[in-house]
Chain A
Amino acid sequence: MQPRDLQAEQFGKYPPQARQVAAAHLQLLRQLPIGFLPSLLRQVKEYDFKFPAERASIDRELTCLSALSAPQLAEWFKGFEALKISPALERFDWVNAPSQFVEQQSAYLWSTHQLDAFRDTATAYGARLRGDTPTEPLPMRRLGIAVIGQEVASYDEELFHNLRPHGTYFHQIRPEGGLDLLLGAVAERAKQSPQPYAHWYVDGGESAAVETPGVTRVSYKSLEGTRTALLNFMQEQIQKPGMGPEELRTRLAELEPRDAGMDAAADPVLSRFELKLLTEGSGTQIFSTTFAQWTAREALRRAQPLTLLVRFAPRQRQRPMNELLANTQTDAAADLIGSLVDADMGAYYHWINQQRLDGANEAVFIAWFEGHNQAIAVGPTLARGVQSGSAMDLGQLMKFAMG
């Protein structure tokens, strides 16, 4: 089927708000090329379960495209129009299964050497869209905080190697009460700018007991039951005859939070987000450091929070993959130093992903070696590539970094 043949009733299986969005922009959708449209429908179909920032982004994109004339649309999408799509993909039910279409399209683009052209086209489209769609000014500077190295007694190698050129390295931090001070600052920001999903605390272990009203919380420990249910589901599925990687991914994508034993009364947007962390992330089911890093990435990409504190916890040591996936607890000893190295890189990726968002040049980032006197702070008022021997606690560092 081609986009020009689209009818409103074909969106009947979409959730209510998604259905409305699609119907309201039917004329536009009919004019978009098949090499692009399923990627957009993948977003629209999940509209009911998107974060506010994502909904605003979809709305802006559709509004922007709807304002273009037919020749302008043709000009915007000529790169996508030029992509060759296989007849099998054209026959695919891309309205109801856009994610699967995009996955198969990706494989097709790789095999037909069109991936580089697709990358260039998609990048140019994204840049053009950002240039043509206004965004609201942020109510406060964005702040990222990474807490790494939990339970590590000492470490002699250099930390924050990748971040040091971008900020000031502090080596006389007073660590006492550090986590509480940081979480208190996050809660204070949530109080100052109380918006849904704007302030997050992600923990790679068990969440700290301190109260943080208005802060969205995700932790590895709290998802233990879900992780076990998913690993069992995957083990069951791969035993089935004819089951392949693509089929398994499709089954995982179809799972609802309740299928993985998640609380039916919980926030449906957050539950879906958490489920996707485990079904779409690689390694998130088995390594807590990967879970924390991937959660930070996805929270920044999707919810675009004003505040994100990520605390890394020790991960289990490496074991054979089949043993890890079987979730047997024969020897789940932690790899403390490996976890610190993972988290150090995770902090760097946290900063990179934060810098992809609006307000990057005003944003502040802090990473702290938990329980120790080393930290790094990056921000517009902080010198780059220098060290500071100033003695201060984490609260004072936060105030200093925020200017």
Chain B
Amino acid sequence: MERATGMSDFARSWTRAGSPRAMAMQLSRTRREFLRDAAHLALGGALLSKSPLVRGEAAQKRRKMIVITFGGGARDQETFAPEGQHNIPNMLSQMAPQSSFFTHVTNDGILGHYVATASLTTGSYETLNNFSAVPPEHPTVFEYFRKDLRRPATDAWVVAPSNGFNRIGESDSRSYGQGLGAAVILPKHLLAAATPGSTVDVDHLLRDNYENPLYTPQLSGNPFDLEQLENVLRLSVSDFLSHARTLSSPDELSVYIAKRLMEREAPSLLWITMHDIDVAHSGAYSLYVDGIRRTDRLCAELWQAVQANPEYAGKTTMFILPDFGRDSDYDAGGNGFQHHRTGDVASRTTWMMALGAGVREGVVYDQPVQSIDLVPSLGAMMGFSAAQSAGKPIRELV
């Protein structure tokens, strides 16, 4: 009998491309071909290199940015590869044709959700403990934005999934840091606070950290509390609870809060971290795919909310990107979709969709960018300097 050497026919088809870089390029080409066929997007290299961004101080002042992390961690074959298309009907048919789509986004940092999201917000690969509620080391986009543009605290917000993300709004950088960050809303924390003693009918909205489900880090800093729920969001505890009971997942709760925030505060910089997909860590594939379908629907809901809100319509740029991917089915060190532990190409290579004001519509860009390039790009678009970021502005966006 022929002896396998760790790579039989099935794996050869995957590894045919050779080096990790070649495999990443193959992934990105697959995304491009699919989007060209399914969503009729054009290849960006054939177009003008400069973005259609409306420049000028007045335009920048009015501009709003919303970043959604499509989390936590989704692979191509369940999203933008041909076999995943049925899981993302909204993004594919409604949003992709309006977007500039970047097919090759790499994350070279630590693939844990808090540390990776923190890296996205700072534009530097953070090395903090993923399971500790500690602030990022480098200044966040919220600090750059508020300090450089002299914006008030009410103009930058984060809606985040779990207690571990409570410190993501503000770094401990000496030159930025305290008082210059974004307020962080943890909808699940609010819900738990609103239901002291019994959470029976909203338990399904309180699922926390799937990477390490036994731990809910203790809150530190100044968490957004029930009093602010009433003062800032004009939402009574009873109304909040009544609405929460109609929802089916933590991310639905986050989107509800985000939309309320848009209506009441209309922040110029809003960062929403989705997390339902990370149920994949439980090993149940059906729940992982359900999470992707729900997140697809929620992204579309948010985009529709932007169009329906006069404060946002026509002047908002929305970015959607997974914080990273998940392990390949073929990496022997992992267990496929379940985790993101191997650091293989599938877990490090993902995509980004940019749509709205200043973004060219219906274009696919193949050239590699890094996830840490997002913050400098936001800076170039909004007029602040991400001085300590290790990334660089994405040419096609600025």
Query: A residues bordering B, Cβ < 8 Å?
Result: 110-113, 115-116, 119, 126-127, 130-131, 135, 137-138, 141, 161, 166, 234, 238, 244-245, 248, 281-284, 286-287, 289-290, 293-294, 297, 315, 318-323, 325, 335, 337-339, 341-342, 344-346, 348-349, 352, 355-362
Task: Taking A355-B8, A358-B3 as given, write out 15 further A-B residue pairs in contact, using a Cβ cutoff of 8 Å, ordered by the A residue number.
Answer: A112-B127, A245-B214, A245-B215, A283-B338, A287-B282, A320-B203, A320-B206, A338-B287, A341-B286, A341-B289, A345-B336, A346-B285, A355-B10, A359-B2, A361-B2
Known contacts: A349-B329, A357-B4. The answer to whether A315 contacts B284 by CB under 8 A is: yes
- B3 touching A342, Cβ below 8 Å: no
- A283 touching B11, Cβ below 8 Å: no
- Interfacial residues of chain B within 165-184, with CB under 8 A of chain A in the complex: none
- Interfacial residues of chain B within 7-24, with CB under 8 A of chain A in the complex: 8-11, 20
Question: In the bound complex, how far is the Cα of B368 from the Cα of A361, in angstroms?
Answer: 37
Chain B positions 141 through 161: 1 when the CB is less than 8 Å from some CB of chain A, otherwise 0: 000000000000000000000
- Check: B330 CB closer than 8 A to any chain A CB: yes
Known contacts: A282-B283, A319-B204. The answer to whether A349 contacts B336 by CB under 8 A is: yes
- A127 touching B5, Cβ below 8 Å: yes
- Check: B212 CB closer than 8 A to any chain A CB: yes
- A290 touching B2, Cβ below 8 Å: no
- Check: B343 CB closer than 8 A to any chain A CB: yes
- Interfacial residues of chain B within 52-104, with CB under 8 A of chain A in the complex: 83
Q: Which residues of B contact A244 (CB under 8 A)?
A: 131, 215
- B110 touching A111, Cβ below 8 Å: yes
- A294 touching B3, Cβ below 8 Å: no
- A282 touching B338, Cβ below 8 Å: yes
Question: In the bound complex, how far is the Cα of B250 from the Cα of A322, in angstroms?
Answer: 14
- A290 touching B215, Cβ below 8 Å: no
Q: Which residues of A contact B329 (CB under 8 A)?
A: 348-349, 352
> Which of B111, B131, B213, B282 gathers the greatest number of chain A CB atoms within 10 Å?
B282
**Shortest distance in angstroms between B328's beta carbon and chain A's nearest beta carbon?**
10
Question: In the bound complex, how far is the Cα of B267 from the Cα of A222, in angstroms?
Answer: 55
- Check: B279 CB closer than 8 A to any chain A CB: yes
> Which of A286, A319, A321, A358 gathers the greatest number of chain B CB atoms within 10 Å?
A321
Question: In the bound complex, how far is the Cα of B290 from the Cα of A335, in angstroms?
Answer: 13
> Which of A138, A234, A238, A283 gathers the greatest number of chain B CB atoms within 10 Å?
A283
Question: In the bound complex, how far is the Cα of B289 from the Cα of A344, in angstroms?
Answer: 13
Known contacts: A238-B215, A294-B335, A321-B210. The answer to whether A361 contacts B8 by CB under 8 A is: yes
**Shortest distance in angstroms between A197's beta carbon and chain B's nearest beta carbon?**
20
- Check: B46 CB closer than 8 A to any chain A CB: no
Q: Which residues of A contact B287 (CB under 8 A)?
A: 318, 338
- In the complex formed, the residue of B with least CB distance to A384 is B9
- In the complex formed, the residue of B with least CB distance to A126 is B6
- A113 touching B108, Cβ below 8 Å: yes
- Check: B259 CB closer than 8 A to any chain A CB: no
Q: Which residues of B contact A345 (CB under 8 A)?
A: 285, 336-337
Question: In the bound complex, how far is the Cα of B285 from the Cα of A349, in angstroms?
Answer: 11
Question: In the bound complex, how far is the Cα of B283 from the Cα of A289, in angstroms?
Answer: 8
- Check: B308 CB closer than 8 A to any chain A CB: no
**Shortest distance in angstroms between B161's beta carbon and chain A's nearest beta carbon?**
13
Question: In the bound complex, how far is the Cα of B372 from the Cα of A113, in angstroms?
Answer: 15
- Interfacial residues of chain B within 270-313, with CB under 8 A of chain A in the complex: 279, 281-287, 289-290
- A337 touching B3, Cβ below 8 Å: no
Q: Which 4 A/B pairs are nearest by Cβ-Cβ distance?
A: A290-B283, A360-B4, A341-B286, A283-B283
Q: Which residues of A contact B48 (CB under 8 A)?
A: none
**Shortest distance in angstroms between A120's beta carbon and chain B's nearest beta carbon?**
8
Could you say which of B1, B283, B286, B342 contacts A361, with CB atoms under 8 Å apart? Answer: B1
- A113 touching B125, Cβ below 8 Å: yes
- In the complex formed, the residue of B with least CB distance to A294 is B283
- In the complex formed, the residue of A with least CB distance to B331 is A119
Q: Which residues of A contact B215 (CB under 8 A)?
A: 238, 244-245
Question: In the bound complex, how far is the Cα of B204 from the Cα of A323, in angstroms?
Answer: 10
**Shortest distance in angstroms between B82's beta carbon and chain A's nearest beta carbon?**
12
Q: Which residues of B contact A335 (CB under 8 A)?
A: 286
Question: In the bound complex, how far is the Cα of B204 from the Cα of A211, in angstroms?
Answer: 42
A-B CB contact pairs (8 Å), 29 listed? A113-B108, A115-B343, A116-B20, A126-B6, A127-B6, A245-B212, A245-B214, A248-B214, A282-B338, A287-B282, A289-B284, A290-B282, A290-B283, A293-B283, A315-B284, A318-B279, A318-B284, A320-B204, A322-B206, A338-B284, A341-B286, A342-B285, A355-B8, A356-B8, A357-B4, A360-B8, A361-B1, A361-B2, A361-B4
Q: Which residues of A contact B392 (CB under 8 A)?
A: none
- B281 touching A282, Cβ below 8 Å: yes
Q: Which residues of B contact A290 (CB under 8 A)?
A: 282-284
- Check: B323 CB closer than 8 A to any chain A CB: no
- Check: B373 CB closer than 8 A to any chain A CB: no
Q: Which residues of B contact A116 (CB under 8 A)?
A: 20, 343
Question: In the bound complex, how far is the Cα of B330 from the Cα of A161, in angstroms?
Answer: 16
Question: In the bound complex, how far is the Cα of B282 from the Cα of A284, in angstroms?
Answer: 8
- In the complex formed, the residue of A with least CB distance to B333 is A119
Could you say which of A238, A346, A349, A355 contacts B4, with CB atoms under 8 Å apart? Answer: A355
Known contacts: A131-B5, A357-B4. The answer to whether A283 contacts B284 by CB under 8 A is: yes
Could you say which of B108, B212, B286 contacts A342, with CB atoms under 8 Å apart? Answer: B286
**Shortest distance in angstroms between A94's beta carbon and chain B's nearest beta carbon?**
21
- B343 touching A321, Cβ below 8 Å: no
